[in-house]
Structure 1
Amino acid sequence: MTSAATPPGLARFNALEEPAALAVLHETCASTAWARRLLAGRPYATADDLYAASDTAMGGLGAADLREAMAGHPPIGRPRPGDPASAREQSGMTAAPDRLKAEMLELNLAYQERFGHVFLVCATGRTGEQLRDALTERMGNTPERERETVRTELGRINRIRLARLVDED
């Protein structure tokens, strides 16, 4: 059910046919389980309802679902070509000096070797130095703690992306 207070982007999302809605959700998060849970909750009356459903779905993802979600994210400092969301979210690395970009490449590789997946962080609004510092700090996490940190970061990214969807005119 929608009302006059329902943001236009949310109303459009609620009205999408299932395959189109699933595609939109998959652009937000590569986890099929997450997308299906959000799809099952439609229609959303408010943006906060959608965000709460996203948080709940993220909390319920198993290890394989988290791996699937992470696979949709390129390494920090190397946004996926032709992906405006990736480039926008990682804009803090765009103006970073070459020395910092090279350092991030090395740190990303060390992180992937340690944890077996891409370093995932909500990069929106962070400078290259802040991203480097976050990566360096998280290298000391246990795999279990890092998995939960990744879950939290994915939730933040999903909320930002969902807000863009909701706010679209």
Structure 2
Amino acid sequence: MVTLGQFNQLSHAEAAALLSPCVAIPAWVSELVSARPYAGRQQLLERAHQAASRWQQAELQQALSAHPRIGDKPAGADEHHALSRQEQAGVDAANAPLAEALRQENARYEAHFGHVFLIRARGRSGEQMLQELRRRLHNSPAQETAEALAQLTEITLIRLEGVINA
């Protein structure tokens, strides 16, 4: 974590490296880095939200490349995997019925929508995520894209808040 003042002073490459784990969308990272300096943290967060509001299907697909299935524990050493492990702490790996239900429902979701199920996992239990997964299986493709983009925005902004301190 760095302060906003430190973030404003980083080189372009350093600032981009700091923000990249927030979301696997390089254009979003570049936009935020290029708009520095920020007068306050709220200005940064507003700019981040504004940039995220323009995301479409292409950006969603790009970002999904860095998101594991709910219930899977990513083993990678990079920052994306570390954040995913922390965010999915609500999934009890010892709960075999829950793990199996998540595995089955993830497979149904992926067969239906063609990509992994994306949800803000932080603050949700495994059971809550399973319930949401099942609910969202009834969405149309357009509804699901909108929900997945909203979840991606939440995830990204939470991660950004964890990277840049006031």
| TM-score of the superposed pair, with normalisation by structure 2 | 0.90
Mapped partners of 2:105, 2:37: distance in 1: 42
Instruction: Indicate whether 1:117 and 2:111 are aligned.
Output: no
Aligned residue number for residue 102 of structure 2? 104
**Letter aligned with residue 57 of structure 2:** A
Q: Give the aligned CA root-mean-square deviation in angstroms.
A: 1.7
1:100-126 C-alpha deviation (Å, 9 max, x unpaired) = 011101111111111111100000010
Instruction: Indicate whether 1:161 and 2:155 are aligned.
Output: no
> Equivalent residues in 2 for 1:3-152 (5 A)?
8-81=2-75, 82=77, 83-95=81-93, 97-152=95-150
Structure 1 spans left out of the alignment, 5+ residues? 1-6
Mapped partners of 2:143, 2:94: distance in 1: 29
Q: Is the 8 A contact 2:105 2:134 kept in 1?
A: yes
Structure 2 spans left out of the alignment, 5+ residues? none
1:3-39 C-alpha deviation (Å, 9 max, x unpaired) = xxxx952222222111121122211100112112212
Mapped partners of 2:69, 2:164: distance in 1: 26
| TM-score of the superposed pair, with normalisation by structure 1 | 0.89
Aligned length: 162
Q: Is the 8 A contact 1:14 1:44 kept in 2?
A: yes
| Higher RCO, Cα 8 Å, sep 6+ | 2
Mapped partners of 1:10, 1:75: distance in 2: 32
